[in-house]
A and B are shown apart, each in its own frame.
Chain A
Amino acid sequence: MDLSVNLGNITLKNPFMPASGTFGYGLEFAEFGDLSQLGAIVTKGISLNPKKGNKPPRICEVKGGMINSIGLENVGIDNFQEKLKKLEDLNTSIVCNFFGNTFDEYISVAEKLSSFRRVDVLEVNISCPNVKEGGICFGTDERMISELIGEIRKVIKKPLWVKLTPNVSDITKIAITAEKAGADALVVANTYTAMSVDIASRRPKIKNIYGGMSGPAIKPLSLYNVFRCVKSVSIPVIGCGGITDISSALEFLIVGARAVQVGTANFINPKILWNLIDDLNGYLSREKISLMELIGSLITE
């Protein structure tokens, strides 16, 4: 079966890739399967300088999901360049997620990343606070998104994916803004702001009080966001949120996601991405439908 998907200016061998932050820098999963078989590898979010991350506890489980506040811990772009060398021989696309604390930091990281030969796609995380503008999240402010994506677009030639935060009142406005500013594809969506309390100690279960929720419980929320974004923009949408098995992945494809990212499920079963490739093949042959026919085949009448 042909599982390849076209995402505008790049074609992936299949629609399955990890979500940033759940797959390390790639090699951590080499023991579980051949990385070259994956649609793409999406690396942990990179910033200009190394980041220590937040104080523990950083994660907690909630029913059907988990909350994390890792604090974007990462090795910084210079160390990342070394790690990238180890992915040199992989026969799959490498998507590098990145972020900044300020406008200028975003631009510098984007410029540097795009100069690395092995980087195929840049995925920008806009769910970060702009420390120079009172800590407002870049991804919730249409003016900031427009300027940020516009400027990044000017300094890079490689495909630019924008990972949207779902913590906004109308995600389609953000999606349209990102498209107009020059995004090549949208990843819908990041985690949902959430908290959990330990009733014995009456303290938040996470040191940072709140974090981002992921896992199967958020799948219906992200599915709806993908559905709405697909109808609002003409660039490809990559679905992300709560995929743990083939049926949840199929739901995203049916509503129109051109590809999907799998996050928390990598912790539950590190072989999940490879299993999904096999299961999609099985589904398509059983249903006698091509992947292209399946994508966006939602019937609403």
Chain B
Amino acid sequence: MKRINGKIIARKILAKDIFLISIELEEEFGNFGPGNFIMLGINDFENILPRPFSIYHAENKNIRLIIKTVGSVTGKLLKCSLPYEVSVLGPLGNSFPLIKGNNLIISGGIGIVPLFDLVNRINVECFFAGFRTKEEIFLVENINKISKIYLSTDDGSFGHKGFITDYLEDYLIKNRDRDFNIFACGPHPFLKKLWDIGKRLGVSSIFASFETYMACGFGVCLGCTVETPKGFVKVCKDGPVFNLNDIFGE
């Protein structure tokens, strides 16, 4: 974990409300695992707190993030004139376990980002990527080169129509005699649905990356606590990757 100053030197729109930024750092970022995140700080009185982002790519003194415009900080990152000074703290949190077996990946929307790098590091049988609509699709071409991909949009404007969790469920039912590890990232209801499916079909483990508000990113502010039936967990330090059993299980 290091805090490094840097500046955004390039920005590219990838899809509706989705853009990539490339940050030139003053020092080398170092190694990171798939699922690790960073806290990105902008020097702005209105938004004093840094924000957590998944790492899309990091090499030497460059780090790239893929960002969805959701609030005022992401709005500023989209519109600021470049170069734009920022700070990067990381890598933070745990990462997805690099395990062998029948591995499936499933993402909802922007949740594809922390899972992207996993395709290069473990053997993936199929990548299920869900989006709301055609305009919001990104990154899938890059994944297509490495892994089999199954694509859906909620409105059917591209790929298969419907929720990606339903297609994963079909896949699991068709392969009921086999055991799978599932790697996931997406909105909270998406993960809850995944947990229900996994439980019903006896999937041995589902690892998912969670997102929440946090102030520090390294276990000090105690602001990113999530309540589970077993008690409180800290997303930044205990996660962001959890076995869903530890979040939703009794």
Cβ contact within 8 Å between B48 and A66: yes
Interface centre among B48, B216, B221, B232 (most CB of A within 10 A): B48
How far is B226's CA from A24's CA once the two chains are assembled, in angstroms?
A: 19
Contact in complex: A58, B48 (CB < 8 Å): no
Contact partner, B226, options A56, A59, A70, A266, Cβ 8 Å: A56
Interchain CB contact under 8 A, A23 and B220: yes
9-residue interface stretch from B26-34, B39-47, B238-246: B39-47
The answer to whether A70 touches B223, judged by C-beta atoms less than 8 angstroms apart, is yes
* Least CB separation from B41: chain A residue: A268
Main secondary structure of the interface of A (DSSP, over half): loop
A129 at the interface (CB under 8 A from B): no
Query: What is the CA–CA distance of A58 and B47 in the complex, to the nearest angstrom?
Result: 17
* Complex: chain B residue closest to A215, CB-CB: B48
Which residues from chain B contact A53 at a C-beta distance below 8 Å? Answer: 222, 225, 232
B220 touches A266 (CB 8 A): yes
Within 8 A of A (CB), among B198-245: 212-216, 218-227, 231-232
Decide if B62 is an interface residue (CB 8 Å cutoff): no
Which residues, 209 to 259 on A, are CB-close (under 8 Å) to B? 215-216, 244
Among B49, B214, B220, B226, contact of A22 (Cβ-Cβ < 8 Å) = B220
Instruction: Point out which of B213, B225, B226, B232 has the most chain A C-beta atoms below 10 A from its C-beta.
Output: B225
Give the contacting residue for A66; candidates B46, B212, B215; CB below 8 A: B215
- Chief secondary structure at chain B's binding surface: loop
Tell whether B114 is near chain A: CB-to-CB under 8 Å: no
Distance between B3 CB and nearest chain A CB, rounded to angstroms: 6
Set of chain B residues within 8 Å of A57, measured between Cβ atoms? 212-213
Q: Judging by beta carbons under 8 Å apart, are B221 and A68 in contact?
A: yes
Q: Is the CB of B3 within 8 A of A270?
A: yes
Q: Which of A55-82 contact B (CB under 8 A)?
A: 55-61, 63-66, 68, 70, 73
Residue of chain B at shortest CB distance from A31: B1
What residues of A have a CB within 8 angstroms of the CB of B216 in the complex? 266-267, 270
Q: Is the CB of A32 within 8 A of B232?
A: no
B50 at the interface (CB under 8 A from A): yes
Q: Taking A32-B3, A270-B89 as contacts, is the C-beta distance between A52 and B45 under 8 angstroms?
A: no
Evaluate contact between A52 and B232: CB separation under 8 angstroms. yes
The reply on A28 being an interface residue by CB < 8 A is yes
Q: Is the beta-carbon distance between A52 and B231 smaller than 8 angstroms?
A: yes
B87 on interface, CB distance cutoff 8 Å: yes
With contacts A56-B226, A60-B213 taken as known, whether A24 is within 8 angstroms of B220 at the C-beta atoms is yes
Q: Are B87 and A269 in contact (CB under 8 A)?
A: yes
B219 touches A28 (CB 8 A): yes
Q: Is A140 an interface residue (CB 8 A)?
A: no
A264 at the interface (CB under 8 A from B): yes
Cβ A65 vs Cβ B48 within 8 A: yes
Taking a contact as CB atoms under 8 Å apart, the answer to whether A267 and B213 are in contact is no
A267 to B218, CA, bound (A): 9
Contact (Cβ within 8 A) B87 A59:
no
Chain A residue at smallest Cβ distance from B220: A24
Residues of A within 8 A of B212 (CB): 56-57
A58 lies within 8 A of B222 (CB): yes
CB-nearest residue of chain B to A59 = B223
Contact indicator A64/B46 (Cβ below 8 Å): yes
Q: Are A28 and B48 also in contact (CB < 8 A) when A53-B225, A59-B215 are?
A: no
Known: A266-B220, A267-B221. A56 touches B215 (CB 8 A): no
Give 1 or 0 for each of B124-156: 1 = CB within 8 Å of chain A CB.
Answer: 000000000000000000000000000000000
Q: Is A267 within 8 A of B50, CB to CB?
A: yes
Q: Are B47 and A61 in contact (CB under 8 A)?
A: yes
CA separation between A70 and B221, bound complex, in Å?
Answer: 8
Give the residues in chain B near A244, CB-CB below 8 Å. 48
Residues B226 and A66 in contact, CB atoms below 8 Å apart: no
Q: Mark A175-219, 1 if CB is under 8 A from B, else 0.
A: 000000000000000000000000000000000000000011000
| Contact among B45, B47, B219, B223 for A24, CB-based, below 8 A | B219
Asked whether any CB of chain B lies closer than 8 Å to the CB of A112, the reply is no
Q: Which residues on the A side are within 8 Å of B48 (C-beta)?
A: 61, 64-66, 215-216, 244, 264, 268
Considering the chains assembled together, what is the distance between the CA atoms of A264 and B227 in angstroms?
Answer: 24
Contacts of B87 in A (CB 8 A): 269
Residues on A with beta carbons closer than 8 Å to the beta carbon of B49: 61, 66, 267-268
A174 to chain B, nearest CB (A): 27
Chain A 13-42 residues near chain B, CB threshold 8 A: 22-24, 28-29, 31-32
11 contacts between A and B (CB under 8 A): A56-B212, A56-B224, A56-B226, A58-B223, A63-B45, A65-B48, A216-B48, A264-B215, A267-B216, A270-B89, A270-B216
Q: Which 5 A-B pairs have the closest CB atoms?
A: A59-B223, A267-B216, A267-B215, A24-B220, A56-B225
> Which A residues are closer than 8 A to B by beta carbons?
22-24, 28-29, 31-32, 52-53, 55-61, 63-66, 68, 70, 73, 215-216, 244, 264, 266-271
Using A24-B220, A53-B222, A267-B49 as known contacts, list a sample of 16 further A-B pairs with CB atoms less than 8 Å apart, ordered by residue number in A: A22-B221, A56-B225, A56-B226, A56-B232, A57-B212, A59-B221, A61-B49, A61-B213, A64-B46, A64-B48, A215-B48, A216-B48, A264-B48, A264-B215, A266-B220, A269-B41
